[in-house]
Structure 1
Amino acid sequence: MKQYIGSIALVVADYDAAIDWYTRVLGFQLLEDTDMGGGKRWVVVAPAGTAETRLLLAKASTPEQLARVGDQTGGRVFLLLHTDDFWRDYERMKTAGAQFCEQPREEAYGTVVVFQDLYGNKWDLLQLKPSSECSD
């Protein structure tokens, strides 16, 4: 049996602003943007080259949801964006206006830096060392 997480819902304040940021700053691909009626849309983005894990950009529709935009994990790193070339992606993101919370650092498991998305959710940009990657 094979299982994987296909989509992770990310609560956003505005569909178009989120699409712009994720595609322009992170280089994600817009996979779907379907009008669901009543102001709702089914918006899916994913890192270039990925086949499985995607982000479902879900617009906040209640005051409780709006209060969670940018703070889905209480200030902890929310998502880890793996890359095969840390410095290429770091420089591209920096040029595109990404907000980094620290300087890149080398850890036992790889090269990493924390950055924030347009709403303040914290992410890791991470290139694992070959010995750190899990095998199937």
Structure 2
Amino acid sequence: MHMDLFTIIVEEYDPAIEFFTGVLGFDLVEDSPSLTNDGRPKRWVVVRPPGARTGVLLARADGERQRAAVGDQVAGRVGFFLRTDDFDAAYERMTAAGVEFVTPPRAEPYGRVAVFRDIAGNRWDLLGPA
């Protein structure tokens, strides 16, 4: 068993795809037309880090409740964790691409870490080796 997908609610598909692929370097795995449960058109958009098994389903907010959750899916906590083998290179590349880091890099017993926000405003840890 493994985790296949998790969802991040976004305002619009295309800017989210650009952020995850162009800025973070994820692969666009799928971008297909689909339908909501009540038959309205939507897209099935999946991105994932190169070589990863787990993907991120980018879901456009549908309705007020979902729009209210954009950027606050885990109530302001860090809810997503992106591990890299080369922390400095990833941090420099992401900073140059305009990623908003809300904490500077720091050393922890489990490795190096800096908190950043995705395009929706959700908080992520960028993690690297100690």
Bin the TM-score by the shorter chain.
Answer: over 0.9
Matches within 5 A, 1:51-90: 52-90=53-91
CA distance in 2, matches of 1:62, 1:35: 19
2:128 match: 127
Give unmatched runs, 5+ long, in structure 2. Answer: none
2:17 maps to what in 1?
19
| SS of 1:70 mapped into structure 2 | coil
SS at match of 2:51: coil
Moved over 4 A (4+): none
* TM-score (normalised: structure 1): 0.89
Q: C-alpha displacement at 1:33, in angstroms?
A: 0.1
Tell me, yes or no, if the aligned pair for 2:6 and 2:55 is still in contact at 8 Å: yes
Q: Give the structure 2 partner of residue 4 of structure 1.
A: 2
Counterpart Cα distance in 1 of 2:129 and 2:75 = 25
Shift of 1:90: 0.6
User: Aligned letter for 2:33?
Assistant: D
Distance 2:98 2:110 in 1: 27
SS of residue paired to 1:80: strand
Deviation at 1:69, TM superposition (A): 0.4
When the two chains are superposed, the root-mean-square deviation of aligned CA atoms in Å is 1.0
- C-alpha displacement of 1:48: 1.5
Q: TM-score w.r.t. structure 2 length?
A: 0.93
8 Å contact from structure 2 (residues 46, 56) kept in 1: yes
Give the number of aligned pairs.
Answer: 126
Does structure 1 residue 28 correspond to structure 2 residue 26? yes
Q: 1:28-52: CA deviations, max 9, x gaps?
A: 11010001153300000001121x1
Q: 1:99, 1:90 → 2: CA distance?
A: 11
Unpaired runs of 5+ in structure 1?
Answer: 130-136
| Mapped partners of 2:98, 2:21: distance in 1 | 12
Q: Give the whole-Å Cα distance in 2 for the aligned partners of 1:39 and 1:101.
A: 36
Between the two proteins, what is the percent identity of the paired residues? 49
Structure 1 position 96 matched with structure 2 position 97: yes
